[in-house]
Structure 1
Amino acid sequence: MAYLKSILVGILMILVLCLSVLSKYGVGKNCTNTKKGDTIDCIDIYKQPAFDHPLLKDHKICWNLNFIRKQNISKIESSDTKASSEQIHQLGKEIVCPVGTVPIRRTTKRELIFSNLLRKNKQNDTNGKLLLRMNHHYVSVETPYTYTVYNGAIASFGIHTPSVTPDQYSTSQMWIQNGVGHATNSIEAGWAVYPELFGDHNTRIFSQWTADGYISTGCFNTMCTGFVQIHSQILFGAALNPLTPYGKEVFFSVIMDEDTKSWWFCIGNEHKTPIGYWPSEIFIYLPGASLIRFGGIAGAMPNTPSPPMGNGNLPTEDYKMESTGFMRFLQVVEVNGDTRYFGNSAITQKDTSADCYDIIFRKYGYWKRRKHGYNSMIFGGPGGNCP
């Protein structure tokens, strides 16, 4: 009897210990959701992993969102606006978290190991030679190098699902960046198809950041501490599902709060939905951005063909936006909070041959603005054995 009692006491102690660990993140008293194979835990908003960052011990969540205001810009067609709004609604409809909690996608051990390897593979070794990493190609349109400071970037992204293998990945994204080399402070956000990182072939919302050129800081999504989640349903890693072969579209934006210098990630156009933010404390040289870039990246392991980018079709001079990867309404946010479109000074870049990937950027006059969004880019391609 005494032996049985000691066993029960031991089991009870283990349960208490487990509950104490879970309660640190608010899991024990809340709930777990499953969506498209993901496990989503509802975490007490003040106990989410972001606050494990040593620089965020005394951080207070900012709830003053007045700076995310309705922008005085041309709106996209009503049918596309409706589709974008429905897309946003679909993102979080299966996630139900109690009041005072936020959804956090549970990261697997495999994903953590892989994410850590990706960060290390961006660094240089002691001999100055690049460590073995995925080869990648990119196309982009970016602001020219000047002394102009930007407080954010906004664009409507076409959503596609390029066909990639476990050894490949493909993104459509924006960059907000300042500094060079080891002083690079950067936020990347958009969508990615990345089987090795996410464990499937879904098109997912993603982000990546660093405060020192990926020497010791930064990661994808919330795989490390730093990003503060505030939305109760939509989160990084959420799957996007195009309804047609050419995809739908949704607005993504990263905007800095001038008062706190924190960078907010939002979804939506006329009424932006804030998902969360990167606090100013985790950056060194990002009180404003010197470079804004929009484009795509296609990566693959060495000696492996490059994957498709966009929807896999090359852009052509007849500018058929519905048949290729695209972004439109490309805008930057100025230091006074106003937005403006990319002008003719925007620079297009690519690092491979035009039969693999290409990009065309155009700024339109009055008659084509409604269709193409004042300015837009069509981009992508089939990939393959690209130089």
Structure 2
Amino acid sequence: MKERRGIRVVLVLLYLVLGTRGKGAKTIIQWENTSEILTYPQVNKTMMQDGDVYDCIDVNRQPAFNHPFLKDHKIQMKPSSFPVGVNINSPVLHVASQADLPIVECSTGMVPILRSSRRDQTTTHNTDQVINKDVQIEEAGIRYSDDLYGVQAKINVYEPKVYKDGDSYSQTGIQIGNGPRGHFDSITAFYSVSPSYFGDSFGRFHVGWRGGISNKVCVDHKCPGFVQVSYNVGLGGKLQHVSVYNGPQYAIDLFIFKDPKTNNWWLVYGQDKIPLGYWPSSLFTHIKNKWSLSF
């Protein structure tokens, strides 16, 4: 019988959690991918050098607003405030330069949406089968359990060798969550290497979430929910600059936190804290105001 392989790496080199207390522990994380066909008006097509195709969509007509809970949602273009005193500095990663997120040239007021293809639907289905069967998963991470309101991480970016057999992938990122088994709400920001999904071995940047009655996992804009405000960061796109073993090091700074006025969960990037987008609190049942688990 063919051996199924999967590598899920949650390798956070530096990790800061905002909450009342924090305790380290060992954890197991399970994620799956899903894909739905969404229709939206195409405004402008952009072809990237690596072959990815993005459509620049009016920010107010992006896929997020196809969600039934967001029909009358008023978009928030930036956080009302940022947590005070949050900064990650370490001599361990002092030599690491900042890796760049995938940049797409869309005009202000637009957001880039990675165009779906027939290959996306096929490989996503295969990925679901792998995760739900006898897949071998190796993980490393940190778990905090308490009332939490934000998490920040500096993550070293690598492109590990991954088997191109349709069953293997690598994933690195941060995740927050809360809720009982079968109804677990969660939010994640990560990069992955998945030849079976994209047909290449590039490190690609993603966001994901799980919540609501269906409690299914959503990635990027494959199903509605995540509201993007950045007009030039392409979710699902290739990260620019990656670390080399015994060579130059590159890292991404990610920060997820609750907006104290709107209760939306914001994702910002880099030391300059550039807003990428947010998950409206109405999407969730168990993390409307806070969460208790962070990985």
After TM superposition, the score normalised by the length of structure 2 is: 0.75
Change (3 A) 1:120 1:224: farther
Change (3 A) 1:258 1:82: same
Write out aligned runs for 1:228-247 (5 A). 228-240=227-239, 241-242=241-242, 244-245=244-245, 247=249
1:280 matched to 2:294? The reply is: no
Return the offset for 1:267. 1.1
Return the offset for 1:212. 5.4
Match of 1:109 among 102, 114, 118: 118
Change (3 A) 1:285 1:74: closer
Higher helix share: 1
1:221 matched to 2:230? The reply is: no
Write out aligned runs for 1:303-314 (5 A). none
1:40 matched to 2:54? The reply is: yes
Return the offset for 1:149. 1.2
SS at match of 2:97: helix
Point out 4+ residue stretches in structure 1 off by more than 4 angstroms: 79-82, 116-122
Which residue type is aligned with residue 74 of structure 2?
A: K
Residues 113-146 of structure 1 show CA distances to partners (whole Å, capped at 9, x for unaligned) of: 4435655877xxxxxxxx5363322121111x4x
Match of 1:96 among 105, 130, 152: 105
Return the offset for 1:106. 1.0
2:8 — aligned with what? none
Residues 268-303 of structure 1 show CA distances to partners (whole Å, capped at 9, x for unaligned) of: 12x20111111112111112110111xxxxxxxxxx
In structure 1, how many angstroms separate the alpha carbons of the residues matched to 2:108 and 2:184?
Answer: 37
Match of 1:55 among 53, 62, 69: 69
Which residue type is aligned with residue 164 of structure 1?
A: V
Change (3 A) 1:226 1:133: farther
Instruction: Give the structure, 1 or 2, with the largest relative contact order (CA under 8 Å, sep 6 or more).
Output: 2
1:365 — aligned with what? none
Residue 31 of structure 1 contacts residue 97 of structure 1 at CA under 8 Å; is this kept in 2?
A: no
Question: Structure 2: any 5+ residue segments left out of the alignment?
Answer: 1-38
Which residue type is aligned with residue 151 of structure 2?
A: A
Return the offset for 1:99. 2.3
In structure 1, how many angstroms separate the alpha carbons of the residues matched to 2:110 and 2:134?
Answer: 37
Change (3 A) 1:116 1:262: farther
Q: How many residues align?
A: 250
After TM superposition, the score normalised by the length of structure 1 is: 0.59
Change (3 A) 1:244 1:115: same
Return the offset for 1:203. 0.6
**Identical columns (%):** 28
Residues 336-357 of structure 1 show CA distances to partners (whole Å, capped at 9, x for unaligned) of: xxxxxxxxxxxxxxxxxxxxxx
Residue 256 of structure 2 contacts residue 267 of structure 2 at CA under 8 Å; is this kept in 1?
A: yes
Change (3 A) 1:208 1:286: same
SS at match of 2:169: strand
- CA RMSD in angstroms, aligned pairs only: 2.6
Which residue type is aligned with residue 165 of structure 1?
A: Y
Question: Structure 1: any 5+ residue segments left out of the alignment?
Answer: 1-23, 123-130, 294-387
Which residue type is aligned with residue 217 of structure 2?
A: G
